[in-house]
Amino acid sequence: MISFENCPRIARAAVLAAPLVVAALLLSIGLGGFGLWEPHETAHLGVKAGAGMPSIGDALARAGAAWTGHEELGARLPSAAFALLAAAVLGLAVLALGGHRLAFLASFALIGAPMFLYHGRQVTGGAPLLAGETLAFAGLALIAFGEGRRSAAAGVVSAAIGLSVSTWSAGALMGISVPAGTIFAALAFGVGVSAAGARRRAMLIATAGLFLAGALAFALAAALRWDAPLVTAGLAAKRLASIDCASSIGQLAYGWFPWSALLPILFLRRSNAGEEDPRRGALRVIAVAGMALGMLAQVFYTNLHGPAPLFLALPVALGAALVLDDLERWGEARFAAVAVLLAAAVMLRDFAQDASTILSGYGLAMKAPAAFKPVAHVAIAAAPFLLLVVVAGFFRGGETGLRGARVRVLVPLAAAAFGGFIALNMVPGLSVHFSPKYVLQAYDSFAKSGEPLAVYGAPSPSQSAKTLKSVDELVEWLSRPARVFALLPPQELPLVDKEYRSAKGDHLFVLDSSSSRLVLATSKPNPKERNVNPIAEHVRSQPFPKPPKNAREVNFDDRIALLGWEIASSAGSGILKSGAEFTLTTYWRCTVDVPQSYDMFVHIDGAGPRINGDHTPVGGVYPTQHWKEGDYIRDVYKGTIASYQKAGSYTIRTGLFKGDTRLKVVGDPSAAENSVMLGKVRLE
């Protein structure tokens, strides 16, 4: 079989250097080109206080920004350097412990993971912990399982630095107990450990002592509510609220996607009977015990301190490498490959249901913006990985070793494809929503010299911006005859638009609404500029020019009137298709101001299970609490029929509700339980 060990030394060195080259490219390209995320990154630069992140990351981010004079690039350079250090340490450690093949696979598993690129390209303070934890794991493993004095000496230095940095960054529980407990487990339960008896006993005692010292220090600090940086990472401890393992499992699964899809095989399979290297059993224990102890420690840490990143770079990357190596070596690995593909499919489904899950590896309580729908891009970026699993699991190796050669070609491709998507597409795309940089660039492109900017409802992103404290001040500012500009949060747009319409008789003119944090408005648009205010398209003071195809007026509690509806799909009018999207458009008139916020339900009942389309009217940009007398509202709801939905005749019903109470339908005896029947459609 063709293997790394049979290649010339220069070729092996070049192949092992390849992951670092790819990592450096993924970490550095466009590093200063996208804005700082509010408030997650700016807290590290002193813009906002009380972030509670490790001080080493804050200090280095500020120093980098001051040294380079470029806030985004300088603040992120230390994170990129720490992440690159972690990749180099991991590769060298796995090389010493498991050989060239595992080092190659583990390195690419690390650099192609969202967790690695989030923290290496963002001012999160997490990259020092990533590097420190990796140094600690690698150093202790080299002391325990390395061969020769050089390996042991390198391990002592690595462990000393790593334990210090990781403890400074995350406290004794995560910084000391997890790596020490992992190596203790590998020494106690590892198969074929080659270390001498006396050396093994010494390492068992040392790692057990480190593990217990870290765990007891953290437990004591939590019990006494003692705030000590080297024990609790400088965060005030509180009583343990609950045990929630799901969040840690989710961080591991989504933060390491797609490589995390390999890990269930590692937990299900103990060892390979045909292994030639007796240390592989110990490496498996390092991978399994490291993940188990790390997730358990993070459960306690998160319940005491709040969200925190979960790295475990060496155990997870090593575990993924072991499974990939096994898939390549096994003569029949179809069952394992199918299991990996199913795990990846489940996670892709989760991304489709909640896009925020892919941000789990960031380690912060972040909610993805509504416009963020990455599942199609994620699936395309993960395609080389899925192909890698198919080749490794379904193609026989043969004497020529072609399967192994294909695997070693596809592994870098899979890492580069998914890593490139995260670094060059996803993070910059999210920056449009999380950073004020892009909306300020829009202001610069629209404004002429001397045209002022004001900010309402958000921290001022510019020293030259005037701060407005009330909606009345904002409406007065935008009522000026001269051209002025204003920034405001999208959630304030319904109220501001309502007050602006009352004062000016027209909708607020919005020039840029691409961000989920700030929109840019102006008082005096130019003729060629387009109003992108989402409310202006769906709310009018006069009836819409094009009446609904199905006109029908229904009175809701003498407050709101339904005027009609229409449904459209690719299958044609009145016909829906399984697996396809449909659009239901309803038209409303507000007869009196509505002080409460009602949601709209859409129930499509028939031959199969109910198709439920409950939603906030007008996509949430103009809820009913802002509807005023005389408004004409057009609501557009887009839904997708499940592919398993049974064909047949279906009835569409709708209404308005708040909690368990529906808004009363007046004068329509056919409206059972305050639910109006719009009509019938056929599902094919």
Q: Which residues contact 531 (CB under 8 A, 6 or more apart)?
A: 507, 509, 510, 525
Are 190 and 315 within one domain? yes
For the ranges 64-78, 157-171, 617-631, the lowest mean pLDDT is seen at 64-78
Pick the last residue of a domain from 515, 532, 549. 532
Residue 503 in tokens = 């004062």
Q: Which amino acid is at 34?
A: F
Given a contact cutoff of 8 angstroms between Cβ atoms, the answer to whether 453 and 447 are in contact is yes
Query: What is the average per-residue pLDDT within 395-420?
Result: 75
Instruction: Please report the pLDDT score of residue 547 as a whole number.
Output: 84
Are 526 and 544 part of one and the same domain?
Answer: no
pLDDT of residue 206: 76
Q: Kindly state whether residues 37 and 179 are assigned to the same domain.
A: yes
The predicted pLDDT at position 3 comes to: 52
In a domain, 584, yes or no: yes
The last residue of a domain, from among 434, 460, 483: 434
**Domain count for the chain:** 3
Q: Is residue 441 domain-resident? A: no
The answer to whether residue 80 sits within a structural domain is yes
User: Is residue 263 domain-shared with residue 282, that is, in the same domain?
Assistant: yes
Residues 515 and 554 in one domain: no
- 405 inside domain: yes
Which H or E run includes 634?
strand 632-640
Does residue 442 lie within any of the structural domains?
A: no
Residue 17 scores a pLDDT above 70? yes
598-636 burial, b if ≥16 CB within 10 A, otherwise e?
A: bbbbbbbebebeebebebebbbebbbbebbeeebbbbbe
* Predicted pLDDT at 302: 75
Q: Which two tokens stand for residue 296?
A: 């358990």
pLDDT-wise least confident of 135-139, 175-179, 518-522:
175-179
Clarify whether residues 99 and 245 are in a common domain.
yes
Predicted confidence (pLDDT) per residue in 222-245, tens digit: 665 555 555 666 544 444 445 566
For 211-220, what is each residue's pLDDT tens digit? 777 777 766 6
Average pLDDT over residues 563-567: 90
State pTM to two decimals.
Answer: 0.79
* 437, 34 Cβ separation under 8 angstroms: yes
Q: Phi and psi dihedrals of 509, rounded to 5?
A: -90, 110
pLDDT value at residue 224: 57
Tens-digit pLDDT profile for residues 286-333 = 999 999 988 888 887 777 666 778 899 999 999 999 998 888 777 567
Same domain, 429 and 573: no
- 101 & 150 share domain: yes
Q: What is the pLDDT of residues 25-80, one digit of tens each?
A: 999 998 888 877 776 676 666 544 333 444 677 777 777 777 776 678 888 888 89
Question: What are the residues whose beta carbons fall under 8 Å from the beta carbon of 172, sequence distance 6 or more?
Answer: 213, 214, 215, 217, 218, 230, 231, 232
Residue 51 falls inside a structural domain: yes
Tell me the per-residue pLDDT of 453-510, one tens digit each, with 9 for 90 and over.
Answer: 999 988 777 667 889 999 999 999 999 888 999 999 888 898 899 889 888 888 999 9
Confidence of residue 412 (pLDDT cuts 50, 70, 90): very high
Report the CATH number at residue 550: 2.70.50.60
CA 290 to the chain's CA centroid: 23
Residue 498 belongs to domain spanning: 452-532
Question: Is it the case that residue 173 has pLDDT exceeding 70?
Answer: yes
On whether residue 444 sits in a domain, the answer given is no
Mean pLDDT estimate for the chain: 82
Higher pLDDT, 172 or 597: 597
Answer yes or no: do 371 and 412 share one domain.
yes
Residues 109 and 243 in one domain: yes
Pair (501, 569) in one structural domain: no
Together in a domain, 521 and 631? no
| Residues forming beta bridges with residue 453, ordered by sequence position | 485
Last residue of a domain, one of 484, 516, 532: 532
Secondary structure in 3-state letters for 202-266: HHHHHHHHHHHHHHHHHHHHHHHCCCCHHHHCCCCCCCCCCCCHHHHHHHHHHHCCCHHHHHHHH
Around Cβ 486, how many Cβ atoms within 10 Å?
A: 28
What confidence tier does 86 reach under pLDDT thresholds 50, 70, 90?
Answer: very high
Which residue do the tokens 């799901």 mark?
246
pLDDT in the model for residue 271: 47
Task: Look at residue 481 and tell me if it is in a domain.
Answer: yes
